[in-house]
Chains A and B, each alone.
Chain A
Amino acid sequence: MSCSRRDLLKNTFKATLASALPLSAFKMLSPAQVKASVGDSNVRWVFLVNTKKCVGCGLCVKACKLENEVPYDPPITRTWVERYVVMKNGQTHIDSPMGGRDGFTDSKIRENEIPADEIAKGFFVPKLCNQCEKPACVQVCPVGATYQTKDGVVLVDRTWCIGCGYCIMACPYGVRFFHPVYKVAEKCTFCYHRITKGMAPACVQACPFGARQIGNLKDPNDPVAQIILNQRVGILKDEYGTKPQAYYIGLDNNVR
């Protein structure tokens, strides 16, 4: 076998290059690792509600409706506040007049006088879209008008929704409703236009008591993520398997 000087130099150069290739270039990556290395998957928006801090002022509901152009007077709302009053005899009174838009300014519940000395516990629970990890409302959409963004928020495409209402039926939390102006399904977006600009959702900003917080579950230094990961928090309707991402502090078994 003959070998010219030129070939020897060429082959030496090739062999050097090949041996310089790191073995890691041939490593098999799991799909999850690939997913993590491309795209914007380092954000997962989550909500934290501290029911112990809520006083039922309803400023969150008012701010939400004005911020998101939800018609003010019809009884529809993206977020609402429920009042729970549990009596010493076990009876429970629950109400949410106008979704709590005007606050709770009367101790009467559905025209019933509630004697103060017989109240065992009374509290308020703000509710909003849970932005589920496995959203039932998205699965049932027949046209692909509602979907989950990469950062975990479920949105509705107003130009594509046909208004069939399947998603409104499918949501276990009753969060969705029909928008009377756009004639499409409507829901809480965690104020997507605000959180993507680094602002807090309108309800979070409006709450004077810090009962509502938003955070990024994938950021271990996020104060909200730390509470969710390290403290005792509850979720609503776990049994539906939708993996809701609105977490609650101070839940009670009367809260559904």
Chain B
Amino acid sequence: MKNHVLRPLFVVIAGVALLLIVRHFMVPKDFGVEEGGSFTYNFHRLSATDDWKNFKVKYHGREYCQECHEENVESILASPHAIIQCENCHGPAIDHPDDPEALVINTNRSLCLRCHTYLPYPTSQRADLPGIDPDEHNPGEDCVDCHNPHNPDLENM
């Protein structure tokens, strides 16, 4: 073969070789398709799934709180607020009691108004909840000044 054919051919071969070498080092060893998978939907770095499994859990649920705060869990379970998880108002436990040592309770009016602003929607459960007009019902004051979230009905207090 003539030189003018071979020279560019060598360049191409060198390019492909370089690409394969770079690819060998760049692509993770476990890149591929899991057993029973397809290239359309399952082509990936296999250990990525473990990365997601090891993501940190922050919300631990009522049972976790109950281990130490038995009384508080009992009081909320006896109230109409029994359906609300502790961490919705107290914030995610994360590594409590180590980190954070204390959880900051959200006593803001806006937290209560999420459910208790009256909205006249006939096909939603929202209209059935005890609701107020936030502009009429003691505007500017915190709900917790009068209502105990663990026993919210004023007549039962």
Using a CB–CB distance below 8 Å, which chain A residues touch chain B? Answer: 35, 38-39, 41, 52-59, 62-63, 66-68, 85, 102-107, 116, 119-124, 134-135, 138-139, 144-150, 155, 157-160, 189, 192-194, 196-197, 199-200, 202, 205-206, 208-210
Contacts and interface: CB of A to CB of B under 8 A. Distances in A.
Contact of B124 (A63, A66, A122): A122
Interface SS of chain A = loop
B120 A105 contact: no
B108 to A, nearest CB: 10
Given A59-B88, A124-B124, A160-B48, A104 B53 contact: no
29 contacts: A39-B36, A52-B125, A54-B124, A55-B124, A63-B87, A85-B121, A103-B114, A103-B117, A105-B134, A107-B120, A119-B122, A124-B126, A139-B40, A144-B43, A146-B44, A147-B41, A147-B43, A150-B37, A155-B49, A157-B48, A160-B28, A192-B52, A193-B52, A193-B57, A196-B53, A200-B61, A208-B84, A208-B85, A208-B115
B115 A35 contact: no
Contact of B114 (A58, A119, A155, A160): A58
A63 B59 contact: yes
Interface size class on chain B is 35 or more
B92 A208 contact: no
Interface string B18-49: 00000000001001001111001111110011
A104 B49 CA distance: 36
A144 B114 CA distance: 41
